């Protein structure tokens, strides 16, 4: 491999000749060989760095044009566009497990943008610190990148995925209106419910989760950029905070604003904790929905068997013809991962010491993994399972009329205790509720038929 010599404040470093990074990125590669090639800084964070560095250059050009000249701006902007569109992805090798402030990733961005900008300009025009990092610090850029990445991931991935599944459940509600089945509580038979009502519970849960995610966006729109090292804004020109937030908003089309208190923005990660709590709520409901569906589809003969779901692949290497609810299983595994990530984010966010939180790469990594996995799992579940749900009307009808909890309809006529005796006798003697009620002398057969209508119990 061919190398070139780069230098930083600590001296010279050999860097692969075909890479755009420089000394500080190389030092991080050598000093943090933890999860190399697997747990690299999320691509969403790199994308966000491209956005914020472009925004910062444009704000600097407006506020201090003598330093951020048009020529420098054009070179930085062109390089940032390549970071944003992923063209330069191979030049961001750093792992999550680095300095807790994300300093090396900030410098990785500065070095790549400076070197690529110099290539575009055809001269040594840009310096990573003096130009690309102008008016910034790692301490305000990394939390800014976290918020930009989080907002984009939630608005452009997770919310649309959930809304697609909601639309599927709306359709299924309409198609299954009027079908009555046995309800279940505690995994035991309960009073009847319409299948459409059961589906409406799934749909409404997801709608509430989406509203909670949207609520969490309010404070994620606030950016730390402009706080620089400790929140005082040292070395940033007057008006930079507001200007750079407006530039980010213009680039992304999302309503980003500057954080009112930069001392809070640098050290507290409460906005991310709150937002991930909403993500976890969605994961919890997806766990519940996926479990309901695989229970209802269990069988096909020895389980509940009340619905049919798509058969996507063989389910066993030894049992011919077996098909498993694999989409449900994938969703529930993802839900567990999201719940685990929530613990890590919560602990990481609690570790802000004085003017900085130093668990930010951990928080960003886990947050973005949760959103990415959950978005993709919901889309897969919708496409490969939910859209193909079909009610097994015959099995629903059989289970409904075989349920002892239909005896609840008799409470107004024979009382709770007599109804309980009826149910217990029917179960013990393996006879129908009608037979048990008549044998116990609580109602005549004719009166029983007059008051007992399971389909009207919903």
DSSP designation for 154? I
Structure tokens at 260: 């009112």
In contact, 100 and 142? CB cutoff 8 Å: no
Residues near 45 by beta carbon (within 8 Å), at least 6 away in sequence:
105, 145, 146, 149, 364, 368
Catalytic position from the list 204, 211, 316, 350: 316
What pLDDT does residue 142 have?
Answer: 98
Measured in whole angstroms, the distance separating CA 126 from the mean position of its chain's CA atoms is 37
Dist. CA 418–CA 407, nearest whole Å: 10
What pLDDT does residue 421 have?
Answer: 97
What pLDDT does residue 123 have?
Answer: 98
Average pLDDT of 121-143? 98
Q: Domains in the chain and their CATH numbers?
A: 3-134 (1.10.275.10), 140-173+189-394 (1.20.200.10), 403-456 (1.10.40.30)
pLDDT tens, residue by residue, 384-402: 999 999 999 999 999 999 9
Q: Is the pTM of this model over 0.75?
A: yes
Q: Alpha helices, DSSP H only, in 221-325?
A: 240-252, 262-267, 270-296
Dist. CA 84–CA 2, nearest whole Å: 28
Mean pLDDT of the chain: 96
Is residue 219 annotated as a catalytic residue, yes or no?
Answer: no
Measured in whole angstroms, the distance separating CA 118 from the mean position of its chain's CA atoms is 38
pLDDT tens, residue by residue, 335-376: 999 999 999 999 999 998 999 999 999 999 999 999 999 999
pLDDT greater than 90 at residue 23: no
Residues near 394 by beta carbon (within 8 Å), at least 6 away in sequence:
none
In contact, 231 and 263? CB cutoff 8 Å: yes
pLDDT tens, residue by residue, 157-184: 999 999 999 999 999 999 999 999 999 9
pLDDT tens, residue by residue, 27-69: 999 999 999 999 999 999 999 999 999 999 999 999 999 999 9
Contacts 24+ apart (CB under 8 A), 441-447: 442/410, 442/414, 442/418, 443/410, 443/413, 443/414, 447/413
Label residue 262 by pLDDT band (50, 70, 90).
very high
Catalytic position from the list 186, 298, 380, 432: 186
pLDDT greater than 90 at residue 1: no
Compare 212 and 321 and report the one with higher pLDDT: 212
Label residue 75 by pLDDT band (50, 70, 90).
very high
What pLDDT does residue 352 have?
Answer: 82
Share of the chain above pLDDT 90, in %: 95
Measured in whole angstroms, the distance separating CA 258 from the mean position of its chain's CA atoms is 24
Q: Other CB atoms closer than 10 Å to residue 402's CB: what's the count?
A: 12
Is residue 316 annotated as a catalytic residue, yes or no?
Answer: yes
Average pLDDT of 101-123? 98
Label residue 270 by pLDDT band (50, 70, 90).
very high
pLDDT greater than 90 at residue 455: no
Average pLDDT of 59-80? 98
In contact, 63 and 243? CB cutoff 8 Å: yes
What are 189's strand-pairing partners? Answer: 184
In contact, 56 and 244? CB cutoff 8 Å: yes
Residues near 377 by beta carbon (within 8 Å), at least 6 away in sequence:
286, 330, 331, 334
């Amino acid at each position: 491999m061919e190398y070139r010599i780069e230098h930083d404040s600590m001296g010279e470093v050999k860097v692969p000749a075909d890479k755009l990074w420089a000394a500080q990125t190389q030092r991080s590669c050598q000093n943090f060989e933890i999860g190399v090639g697997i747990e690299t800084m999320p691509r969403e964070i790199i994308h966000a760095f491209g956005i914020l560095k472009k925004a910062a250059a444009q704000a600097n050009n407006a506020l201090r044009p003598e330093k951020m000249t048009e020529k420098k701006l054009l070179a930085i902007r062109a390089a940032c566009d390549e970071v944003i569109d992923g063209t330069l992805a191979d030049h961001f090798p750093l792992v999550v497990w680095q300095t807790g402030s994300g300093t090396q990733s900030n410098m990785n961005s500065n070095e790549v943008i400076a070197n690529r900008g110099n290539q575009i300009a055809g001269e040594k025009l840009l310096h990573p610190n003096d130009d690309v990092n102008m008016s910034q610090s790692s301490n305000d850029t990394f939390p800014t990148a976290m918020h930009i990445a989080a907002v984009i991931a939630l608005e452009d991935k997770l919310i649309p995925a959930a809304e697609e599944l909601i639309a599927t459940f709306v359709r299924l509600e309409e198609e299954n209106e009027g079908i009555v089945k046995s309800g279940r509580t505690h995994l035991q038979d309960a009073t009847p419910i319409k299948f459409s009502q059961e589906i409406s519970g799934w749909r409404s849960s997801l709608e509430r989760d989406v509203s909670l995610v949207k609520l969490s966006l309010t404070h994620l729109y606030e950016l730390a950029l402009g706080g620089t090292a400790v929140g005082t804004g040292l070395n940033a020109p007057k008006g930079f905070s507001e200007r750079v937030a407006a530039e980010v908003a213009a680039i992304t089309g999302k309503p980003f604003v500057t954080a009112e208190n930069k001392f809070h923005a640098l050290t507290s990660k409460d906005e991310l904790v709150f937002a991930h709590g909403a993500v976890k709520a969605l994961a919890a409901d997806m766990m519940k929905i996926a479990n309901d569906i695989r229970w209802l589809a269990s069988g096909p003969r020895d389980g509940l068997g009340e619905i049919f779901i798509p058969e996507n692949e063989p389910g066993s290497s030894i049992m011919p013809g077996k098909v498993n609810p694999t989409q449900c299983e994938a969703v529930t595994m993802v839900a567990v991962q999201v719940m685990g990530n929530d613990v890590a984010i919560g602990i990481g966010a609690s570790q802000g010491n004085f003017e900085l939180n130093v668990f930010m790469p951990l928080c960003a990594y886990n947050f973005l993994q949760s959103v990415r996995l959950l978005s993709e799992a919901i889309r897969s579940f919708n496409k490969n399972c939910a859209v193909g749900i079909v009610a097994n009307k015959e099995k629903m009808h059989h289970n409904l009329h075989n349920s002892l909890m239909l005896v609840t309809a008799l409470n107004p006529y024979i009382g709770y205790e007599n109804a309980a005796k009826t149910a217990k006798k029917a179960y013990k003697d393996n006879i129908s509720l009608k037979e048990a009620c008549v044998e116990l002398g609580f109602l005549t057969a004719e009166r029983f038929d007059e008051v007992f209508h399971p389909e009207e119990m919903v």
